[in-house]
Structure 1
Amino acid sequence: MDLTGLGIGTWNIGEDPKKKKDEIAAIRYGLDNGIKIIDTAEMYGEGKSETLVGQAIKGYDRSQMYLISKFYPYHATPELERKSLEASLKRLGTDYLDLYLLHWRGSHRLSDTIRGLEDLKKEGLIRQWGVSNFDTPDMKELFSVPGGQACFANEDLYNLDHRGVEYDLLPWQEKNKVNFIGYSPFNSGKGNTIRITHNLKTVARDHDATPHQIMLAWALRSGKILSIPKSGKVSHMKENIAAQEIKLNDDELRLINSDFPQPTHKLPLDMI
């Protein structure tokens, strides 16, 4: 399947026992209302996010869900990938992942990483594999390694404040048929939020929406990427789901671009 539309991000979810009930309710509301994709990682709370996701999806039809997780770069050898995956599957309460990502580049050879992932794929423990926090030169290098062209997706930071991927990475991935997953559409992972400008408020008012819904609608506007906002409450999940219906016209996009300009040259890859 193509990875497009809205998914559920889980960074910082599952770490506070007091929030557990709300977080599980939010994930279940998403699943009950058409969202199929959940993105997590062994790094998130050192497994706590995966554990919470496992509790949230219990009782749901696994075949109707698409689960993504990630492994640390220092686990990027065939033996350690397998160990990481087995631990992730146990926490999630499933026997396979739909997509398994190298969380960011490390010191292990990409050829070893790919070999391990292809073995896991052959065994049916993962359906597809990919990478995260890779820039265009990284992707080109990956494609030059035997088996590298089997990469299914790359997940990078993408929001109004961080548009650098539009310059060369997004076009390269589209040309080479690598799905793009954009994380932190509200920039929340950096501990600061995208500035709420007058233009954002104007566009939001015209759509009877919140500025955050406009940010998410903007991230989803092409219909070609997957965006994975975190939602720790049902109310946030409802807002995110509603944002899918917002279509921004050319005048509104021009207003937004005037505050958050498109990149006109290559920028270093932003990461959180």
Structure 2
Amino acid sequence: MQRRVNDKKFFKKIGAELPVLGLGTWGIGGGFWTPDNSQDDAWVDALRYGLELGATLIDTAEMYGGGHSEEIVGKAIKGFEREKIFIVSKVWHTHASRDDVIKAAQGSVKRLGTYMDLYLIHWPPENVKLCETMRGLEETVKRGYTRFIGVSNFSVELLEEARSCLSTNDVAAIENKFSLLDRRDENTVIPYAEREGMLYLAYTPLEKGQLAKDSFLASIGSKYGKTAVQVALNWLIMFNPVVPIPKAADKRHVEENVGAMGWRLSIEDWRLISEKYKRVIA
């Protein structure tokens, strides 16, 4: 029997509850800085469906489709209560100077048609000192472009360096790759995020569909009336600070992904899955 549970988690750094699963938008609206509007209506419908089903956190970035992903998110949220949606976007690491971060945030807000709840540096900056980037992020809060700031693709050491640069804000969240097949953060960044009350967003949680075909996960899921996808996502959800953000490209996948919410694996099954994949790194 699956355990019915609350489908939200409280995060101290944010001071609010968020859904245990969000909607990812990489590939929605185009690829790497390349816009694609061929499926806009379907993408908007998929995101709206996810919001209706309770996955009210949407993750996007200025790089996704050269900003077109943000425009699609802006269309999708129309008609919903803005305060009940948590929007995450990211500035690309080549826009990491203080002035470029501010300019990028302005662009994201314009495309979204609203403020951001969380604004992240997408990757550690390469040609700019981290403190300059973090000061730029702080300025985006002061200007009302975002409520919270954070980092993506950072180690614990870089995360602590980033925090040391801040004076009026703190890092509220980190977004890294984490899945059953890539557990590098399990004993490092995730425990750190939990101790500090930070949100941990897990991208590529299904390894681009690889886990959807996993027969072992499917066998576990059969006991709960759930799919391999739903088991893989639920395993992630059971880490206190983790909110997976699987891609929300169509309504069928959104419905399946959201089926990972509202229940929990037994501790025995969670441990069985953990043991099965403990030595696997993608």
Give the TM-score of the pair, scaled to structure 1: 0.88
Q: Distance in 1 between matches of 2:83 and 2:263?
A: 29
The count of corresponding residues between Structure 1 and Structure 2 is: 261
Which ranges of structure 2 fall in alignment gaps of 5 or more residues? 1-15, 31-35
Aligned-pair CA distance for 1:118: 1.6
Cα-to-partner distance string for 1:50-109 (whole Å, 9 max, x where unaligned): 111112122322222111100011211221111111111111111x11110000001211
Counterpart residue number, 1:13: 28
Counterpart residue number, 2:224: 207
CA distance 1:33–1:252, change in 2 (3 Å): same
Counterpart residue number, 2:9: none
Q: Does 1:158 align with 2:178?
A: yes
Which range is displaced more, 218-227 or 155-164? 218-227
Q: Does 1:63 align with 2:86?
A: no
Q: Distance in 1 between matches of 2:137 and 2:24?
A: 23
- Dislocated runs of 4+, deviation >4 Å: none
Q: Does 1:103 align with 2:122?
A: yes
Counterpart residue number, 2:6: none
Higher strand share: 2
Counterpart residue number, 2:147: 127
Counterpart residue number, 2:5: none
Identity, in percent, stands at 35
Contact 1:158-1:185 within 8 A present in 2 as well: yes
Q: Does 1:43 align with 2:63?
A: yes
* AA at the equivalent of 2:117: D
**Could you tell me which of 77, 85, 90 is aligned with 2:110?**
90
Q: Distance in 1 between matches of 2:154 and 2:42?
A: 33
Counterpart residue number, 2:235: 218
Which ranges of structure 1 fall in alignment gaps of 5 or more residues? none
Q: Distance in 2 between matches of 1:119 and 1:250?
A: 43
* AA at the equivalent of 1:46: G
Which range is displaced more, 45-54 or 250-259? 250-259
Q: Distance in 1 between matches of 2:166 and 2:204?
A: 32
Counterpart residue number, 2:256: 239
Q: Does 1:140 align with 2:157?
A: no
Cα-to-partner distance string for 1:8-36 (whole Å, 9 max, x where unaligned): 11000122434322211111111122222
Which range is displaced more, 43-52 or 249-258? 249-258
Contact 1:99-1:127 within 8 A present in 2 as well: yes
Cα-to-partner distance string for 1:124-146 (whole Å, 9 max, x where unaligned): 22111100000112112223334
* AA at the equivalent of 1:157: K
Aligned-pair CA distance for 1:171: 1.3
Give the TM-score of the pair, scaled to structure 2: 0.85
